Structure 1
Amino acid sequence: MSDKKRRQRLVQWPRVALTTGGVVLAAAATTFVVRTGDAASITADSGATPTRTVVAIPGPRTSTPPPAPVTVTVPGLPVETPVRVTPPGAAAAPLAQVQVNSAEIVYTVAGNQRPDDPVTITYADEAGALRTVENVSLPWRLTVIPTVPVNYVTASSNGSQLNCWITDAHGATVAASTDNTISATCNR
């Protein structure tokens, strides 16, 4: 065997050893993950981990009756007490008779706000003048009694999913934008 061939073999054996070691390490890591995942699913199925209950509600009421709230239980999350929230416009059992102004308008902006993503909202106030509120946390809601027939709300962000609604005094939706986009505009 020549010196040249011997050198080539000596140079290639570390590559073969490193490749084999990498394959063995990847197989061991995969086995560990699979076994750990199986243990976690067995623990979750046995009821040893607590569950978390989440209650989802629909957006503001429309002319059709709102769907009933949905309760979801997620295994493996901390236990929390479920809370029922009445949808906007739905009347809770009042203690006293409350007079509602029929000209009242409610602006609502909601959605999935990203952390550290400022939301800016512009709306028409009672006199129809545009007002801007910056760095808003969602959900945002404002009730106005307009003196002019202008109802307008818009929301914008850098990457959050936004929706908006304008509802009247009886909870009926006057305008809505529910496209889950970075900006939402409702006007009437």
Structure 2
Amino acid sequence: MSDEKRRRGLVQWPRVALTTAGVLGAACATMLVVRTGDAATTTPEFGGATPTRTVVAIPAPRTSTPAPAPVTVTVPGLPVETPVLVPQTSTPAAPMAQTTVDPRLIVYTVAGNQRPNDPVTITYADETGALRTVDNVVLPWQLTVIPNVPVNYVTASSGGSQLNCWITDASGATVAAQTDNAISATCNR
């Protein structure tokens, strides 16, 4: 082995040693966080009460029934990243009064997982078919329209939220849906 090759090998050992020490340190820190659970706990500042988070859960509209009302659940002490699943319960249906619903009635619905401080913009076709835009919407959003023209259109866009949209008719049947959890969603028929 020549002197030049030996000198290059000697110069690289500190770099190898530092990289190994860095990887070992990161692995130890990760193991400590996982074992103690420090990253998964929320501690109140200044000795106050445990923080609470309000979660709004909206089941997707079904094809044969109208979209159910949102369910709001407040769970004390949950970190922001924890999803809350609300099981759907069936309640006996009360006898419904005979009401006449305009068969042209449609409902636009936009829902999903909205990120904090992420404005959602919704554009929809109104009763005359003209496009209307609503900025800085808080999800879930719903609008009932009785159109005079056969144009049904709703689109939603955001910077990084997961969006879904539905158009349901007077009978509650879904006539258009996009449920890809994407940063934009478009429904039309």
Interval containing the TM-score (normalised by the shorter chain): 0.5 to 0.7
Provide the C-alpha distance between the structure 2 equivalents of 1:162 and 1:182, rounded to a whole number of angstroms: 6
TM-superposed CA distance for 1:93, in Å, is 3.5
Partner of 2:97: 97
Provide the C-alpha distance between the structure 2 equivalents of 1:32 and 1:123, rounded to a whole number of angstroms: 50
| Cα contact 2:165–2:187 (8 A) shared by 1 | yes
- Residues 90-126 of structure 1 show CA distances to partners (whole Å, capped at 9, x for unaligned) of 99636x6262524210000011111111110000111
The structure-2 alpha-carbon separation of the partners of 1:171 and 1:33, relative to structure 1 and needing over 3 Å to count, comes to same
| Cα contact 1:55–1:83 (8 A) shared by 2 | no
TM-score, L = length of structure 1: 0.58
Partner of 2:63: 62
- Structure 2 gaps of 5+ residues are 1-19, 38-52, 68-74
Q: Which runs of 4+ in 1 moved over 2 A?
A: 26-40, 54-58, 82-87, 90-94
1:127 is aligned to 2:121: no
- Residues 41-100 of structure 1 show CA distances to partners (whole Å, capped at 9, x for unaligned) of xxxxxxxxxxx9x89653011259x9xxxxxxx9x749xxx997979xx99636x62625
TM-score, L = length of structure 2: 0.58
Partner of 1:106: 107
- Structure 1 gaps of 5+ residues are 1-22, 41-51, 67-73
| Cα contact 1:164–1:178 (8 A) shared by 2 | yes
| Cα contact 1:86–1:92 (8 A) shared by 2 | no
Larger Rg: 1
Equivalent pairs, count: 163
RMSD: 4.9
